[in-house]
Amino acid sequence: MLLKEVKDNRKIFKDMGMNKWRETTVADLKKGQRIRIYSPSGRPLETGGEDTFTTQSDAFQKNGHWVVEVTT
């Protein structure tokens, strides 16, 4: 699945280890990082009941937007 950066105030957090999460942008993501995405209302984005995604690629540009491949 491709995750595209959008300007709707979603918050993306990457796993810093030891259960610590830091806010980041799609452009800063690297392959193998665990991430969580939250809507502007604070609800986690879920796919198949999972709220943690793993990046399968470094972030790259596609049609002028930063994207990254992810799996749950």
Q: What is the pLDDT along the chain (72 residues), one digit of tens a residue?
A: 888 888 888 899 999 998 899 999 999 999 999 999 998 888 998 888 888 999 999 999 999 999 999 998
Q: What pLDDT score was predicted for residue 4?
A: 86
The predicted pLDDT at position 3 comes to 80
As a whole number of angstroms, the distance between CA 62 and CA 22 comes to 25
- pLDDT of 16 reads 94
CA 72 – CA 51 distance, rounded (Å): 8
